[in-house]
Structure 1
Amino acid sequence: MNSNDFIAKIAPAAIRDWQSSGVSAALTIAQAILESNWGTSALAKRANNLFGIKGTGSAGSISMPTKEYRGRVSFTVNAAFRKYKSWDESVTDHTRLLLNKRYEQALRRPGREAARRVAAAGYATDPNYANKLIALMDKYDLYQYDAEMGEEPMTAEEKKQFEALKETVKKQAERIAELEKRAEFKMPDWAKEAVKAAVNYDKKHPLIQSPVQGSYDFYRLITIMYRRGLFNKSDAG
């Protein structure tokens, strides 16, 4: 899987969670790239864990060696990491983790700022963590995925208002379509005799001109009038 394919696979879930929770999509994608080495790490392959989150996941846990830092000195230890059934579950759990109070300062922040705040909150012990994330965002223009849904996600109230507006627009569109349909309604066979009688009622003063088109209600009214004998050729003056 090349870089474009990896990003394309992760982006929909990242954008979804940016819209619903305020976790930057650019941050999510950059962390997935960095933590999983583009999905090629043993943890990503064996546990569908893209973010190096420790603990127990939906499919249990797996013990793996990991590099940690004490200051700028690195060392390797074994740790239990969360195991998932899919990458989508991994993205969802990453969002859930960042909704924790510890990372709240990173929420509703664009990519660069979110990266700095997540690093400052101690997501990783690597002192260059934020810079590495931002470098990935810059190189692959990951900021576009935050812009996908606007600079900031909608609040719950804004989403409610937006859904109400969409419903109103939908109803208006249906009403307009119905009116246009009626305006373009062609003369039905059952109305032809009545329309002809109305047109020929009086050559000098016909009841109606010869309409090319009329509404359903128009043809219905003319037909009822005709069938009730409200205009007949014999009545013409």
Structure 2
Amino acid sequence: MTANEFIEWLAPAARAQTGCYNLPASVLIAQGAIESGWGKSVIGKYNLFGRKWNGVGPYIELPTQEYEGSRYVTIRAKFQDYPSLLHACDDWCILMTQEPCYAPAVAALPNLVQFVRLMGAKYATDPDYANKVLATIRANKLTRFDA
């Protein structure tokens, strides 16, 4: 799948779900692209976001790279397994709006850059994660999908 094919595949579900939560679809799409390698490394059929298992529903256990201290290490982790793309997008929205650690990011909206910087610091262990999300949004003009 090319980057454009990935965007066109994900954008309708992203817009549908993020619109219900007043969240930017551009960030969801960019994170899906980064976390799944533009759809090449999806966990199960629909976990594009590298979303760890929340203790509810089915999961898939896999090795993953985590940034600890100053280097990457491989660990085994459980990841959410979704029945559909809409479920995966909805779970991302629920995470952003209901997990207290993301409250400052959501409060920063509509400032997209501030949202990504605050969210990225909590979402991933990669210290450059927010910059990668913002670069993906810019390079692919993903703000066109924001409400």
TM-score where L is the length of structure 2: 0.88
Q: Deviations over 1:193-237 (max 9, x none)?
A: xxxxxxxxxxxxxxxxxxxxxxxxxxxxxxxxxxxxxxxxxxxxx
Asked if structure 2 preserves the Cα contact closer than 8 Å seen for 1:47 and 1:62, the reply is no
Partner of 1:112: 113
Partner of 1:153: none
TM-score where L is the length of structure 1: 0.57
2:46 counterpart (37, 45, 48): 48
| Matched position secondary structure for 1:27 | helix
TM-aligned CA deviation for residue 42 of structure 1: 4.8
The one-letter code matched in structure 2 to 1:104 is A
Partner of 1:6: 6
Asked if structure 2 preserves the Cα contact closer than 8 Å seen for 1:25 and 1:111, the reply is no
Q: Distance in 2 between matches of 1:95 and 1:22?
A: 9
TM-aligned CA deviation for residue 56 of structure 1: 5.0
Q: Deviations over 1:64-110 (max 9, x none)?
A: 11111113311110101010112221111111111122212222334
Partner of 2:127: 127
Q: Distance in 2 between matches of 1:57 and 1:3?
A: 32
Partner of 1:18: 18
Could you say which structure has the greater relative contact order, defined with CA pairs below 8 angstroms and 6 or more residues apart? Answer: 2
Asked if structure 1 preserves the Cα contact closer than 8 Å seen for 2:36 and 2:49, the reply is yes
List alignment gaps of at least 5 residues for structure 1: 150-237
Q: How many residues align?
A: 144
* Aligned residues with identical type, % of pairs: 36
Structure 1 residues 112 and 87, CA, compared in 2 at 3 Å: closer, same or farther?
Answer: same
Rg bigger for which structure? 1
TM-aligned CA deviation for residue 57 of structure 1: 7.7
